[in-house]
Amino acid sequence: MFGTYLRRELSNRRRQTIVVAIGMALAIALVILVNATAAGVRSAQASALQSVYGVGTDITVTKPASAPSANGGRQQFDFGSGAGSTRNGTQSLSRTRLTTGPAVTTFASSAATKAAATTGVKAATGVLSLNNITFSGALPSQSQRSQGGFGQGARPSGGPDGAGGSSFGVNSFSVLGYNVAGATVGPLTSATLTSGRSLTAADAGKSVAVLDADYATTAKKKVGGTVSIGGTTFKIVGIVTSTSATGATGSNVYVPLDTAQKLSSQTGKISSVYVQAANANDITAVKTALSKSLGSSVTVNTQSDLASSVSGSLSTAATLANNLGTWLSVLVLAAAFLIAVLFTVSGVTRRTREFGTLKAIGWSNRRIVGQVAGESFVQGLIGGAIGIVLGLAAILIVNLVHPTLSAAATTGRGPGVGGGGGFGRAFNQAATTASEIALSLPITPAVIALAVALAVLGGLIAGAFGGWRAARLRPAEALRSVA
């Protein structure tokens, strides 16, 4: 009886059902799209930070950069009078430094041990971020310069161009020393070995290296070859590539931590500690505990803290998704619910004769309210079903278009990401990793469940107001309208 009457009333009031269902559908579709976009932007943001952060890393510990020295933190290369080699009137010079960037401050590696022992920490490992900077060039030999020909009408000679000229360049790449004794957190946990092997505990103290695939391609390096780091020849034993959307790992070259410390004169020092919390819900508490155990001299950042360092169109998309998108969804949902309530109450008012007559023949207020609520509930479900289809279609379209977002994450590691660069670039205060990240919107059961819940909520709200209005009707009103 209830189902038959319900189906007949929805069919008779087709216009109201269509309007309420469409309004609900559009609102729910927008909510699905906004939630999926927010999730996609968060994923893209995590990918942009992954080169800095590493998969599985919840917290990083660093030390604030110290005040610049009298020379402004600039590094210099000194060459003695007999430095380099001379051939055909040209003196070739080259000097390599393996050092931390001006914006990087090292601290005792014991901080990693303290972090690992902190309550709520699952794993912690220390790393040392370095830059290998090579300054090289050619100029006329000292004998050419001492002949006194310059400025006396004699034609200049010597140098790389044979006419007394000089040429200098700077090449740099990033080096990361990490614990080869099985670190379970950090940048390399997000990398996949493409050739060769990874570094193992047996490599501690040895001159062996693993290269990022992009850098290996640019530098034309292969497994079995060598790479010069800090003036020492390292054997390349493996090449890795990142599983992130950016495709780049956190450094160009990876070496054993103790080897990196020795070559850079940073024995017993690290530049960062990567921390993984035992429970993702306790990250804030773990951050507080780390700050207390490690002291105020270090800075403890969560991934959300570092998210502010991501700039570009990705940052704009994140702001829109988190702010404008959320409020727009709330407003549209409120409007859809209001439309459903108004149409339901209006329909109940137009059905005064019907409900009054039903009461006169014995229908109770509870049965009347149930009838109105049931109709509104079904209208909400219809709108929810249409909204889910529309929302999923919108997500599919976005994923097919595959829009890209520009992202730049400031790493604070100093120069060298990607290698090369001029003299000025080699001494930047902080490195910026720029990339194009494809935006992909995920479809999660939680979003679908939210859409169903909103559809049910909309139907219940409309049914509650409509049922309340219907319950106030009296049989006498129906009899007066019939007369």
pLDDT the model gives residue 420 = 37
Which of 266, 297, 328 is the last residue before a domain boundary? Answer: 297
- Of residues 335 and 223, the one with the higher pLDDT is 223
More confident residue, 78 or 185: 185
pLDDT tens sequence across 228-245: 998 899 999 999 987 654
Of 270, 297, 324, the last residue of a domain is 297
* pLDDT of residue 158 exceeding 60: no
Q: How far is CA 362 from CA 144, 350, 365, 371, 375, in A?
A: 118, 20, 10, 14, 20
Residue whose token pair is 């914006």 = 103
> Could you give phi then psi for residue 302, rounded to 5 degrees?
-95, 175
Residue 133's pLDDT is what?
87
Residue 410 lies in a domain: no
Cα separation, 413 vs 271, whole angstroms:
9
Q: How many CB atoms lie within 10 A of CB 47?
A: 24
Q: Is residue 309 part of a domain?
A: no
The pLDDT value recorded for residue 276 is 87
- Please indicate, yes or no, whether residues 113 and 35 belong to a single structural domain of this protein: no
Q: Is 56 left (phi over 0), alpha (psi -120 to 50) or beta?
A: left
Same domain, 233 and 364: no
Residue of 417 and 163 predicted with greater confidence: 163
At 424 the pLDDT is: 32
Tell me what the mean pLDDT of segment 368-393 comes to. Answer: 83
Contact 348, 469 (CB under 8 A): yes
Question: pLDDT grade, residue 97 (50/70/90)?
Answer: confident
Task: Give the pLDDT band (50/70/90) at residue 109.
Answer: very high
Would you state the pLDDT for residue 9?
A: 64
Q: Do 437 and 313 form a contact (C-beta atoms < 8 A)?
A: no
Banded model confidence at residue 268, pLDDT cuts 50, 70, 90: very high
Angle between helices 325-350 and 352-360 (to 10 degrees): 60
Please give the pLDDT value at position 422.
Answer: 32
**Cross-strand partners of 274:** 60, 125
Spatial contact of 433 and 248, defined as CB atoms under 8 Å apart: yes
What pLDDT is recorded for position 81?
56
Same domain, 335 and 293: no
pLDDT exceeds 70 at position 308: no
Q: Which residues, 6+ apart, have CB-to-CB distance to 51 below 8 Å?
A: 187, 242, 244, 246, 248, 249, 250, 409, 411, 417, 433
Of 297, 328, 354, the last residue of a domain is 297
DSSP letter at 320 equals I
Per-residue pLDDT reduced to its tens digit, 391-414? 899 888 988 887 766 555 554 433
**pLDDT exceeds 90 at position 115:** yes
* Alpha-carbon distance values, 82 to 15, 75, 79 (Å): 94, 21, 8
Q: Exposure pattern of 408-435 as b/e (b: 16+ CB <10 Å)? A: ebbbbbbbbbbbebeeeebbeebbebeb
Instruction: For residues 20 and 109, state if they share a domain.
Output: no
In this structure, the answer to whether residues 223 and 252 fall within a common structural domain is yes
**Domain residues for 18?**
2-47+315-403+439-482
Closest alpha carbon to 270 in 396, 390, 176: 176
Going by C-alpha positions, the residue among 258, 251, 210 that lies closest to residue 104 is 251
Express each pLDDT in 38-93 by its tens digit.
Answer: 777 766 666 655 555 554 577 889 888 765 555 545 555 555 555 556 666 666 66
- Rounded mean pLDDT, 258-277: 92
Q: Of the ranges 119-128, 189-198, 470-479, which is most confident?
A: 119-128
Residue 59 placed within a domain = no
In this structure, is residue 106 part of a structural domain? yes
14 within domain boundaries: yes
Q: Tell me the CB-side half-sphere exposure of residue 275, using CA atoms within 13 A.
A: 36
**pLDDT at residue number 307:** 56
Largest separation between any pair of C-alpha atoms in the chain: 127
Strands 232-242 and 208-212: parallel
Whose tokens are 């921390």? That residue is 275
Name the residue with tokens 């090292």.
106
Would the pLDDT of 386 be above 60?
A: yes
- Residues in CB range of 367: below 8 A, 6 or more apart: none
155 with 293, same domain: the answer is: yes
Q: Which has more confidence, 218 or 304?
A: 218
Is residue 190 pLDDT above 50, yes or no? yes
265 and 342, same domain (yes or no): no
Instruction: Say yes or no: 372 and 275 in one domain.
Output: no
Q: Which of 78-92, 256-270, 345-359 has the lowest mean pLDDT?
A: 78-92
Burial class (CB within 10 angstroms; exposed 0-12, middle 13-18, buried 19+) of 267? exposed
pLDDT above 60 for 130: yes
Q: Beta strands of 63-200 (E only): which ranges?
A: 85-87, 90-99, 107-108, 121-140, 167-178, 191-196
Task: Based on the fold, state whether residues 161 and 245 are members of the same structural domain.
Answer: yes
Instruction: Note whether residue 333 is domain-resident.
Output: yes
∠341-344-346 over CA atoms, to 5°?
A: 105
Task: Encode pLDDT of 424-458 as tens digits.
Answer: 333 333 444 445 666 778 787 877 887 788 778 87
Q: Is residue 323 part of a domain?
A: yes
Q: Residue 414's pLDDT is what? A: 38
Number of domains in the chain: 2
Do residue 470 and residue 342 come from a single domain?
yes
For residues 27 and 86, state if they share a domain.
no
Number of residues that make up the chain: 483
Arithmetic mean of pLDDT, 147-154: 51
Higher pLDDT, 60 or 329: 60
> Which residues have C-beta within 8 Å of that of residue 378, sequence separation ≥ 6?
6, 10, 459
pLDDT of residue 365: 73
Confidence of residue 167 (pLDDT cuts 50, 70, 90): low
Whole-number mean pLDDT of the chain? 74
Q: Is there a single domain that holds both residue 373 and residue 237?
A: no
Tokens of 38: 């927010």
Q: If you ran DSSP here, which 8-state letter would residue 339 be given?
A: H
Residue 161 domain-assigned?
A: yes
The Cα 396–Cα 440 span in angstroms is 9
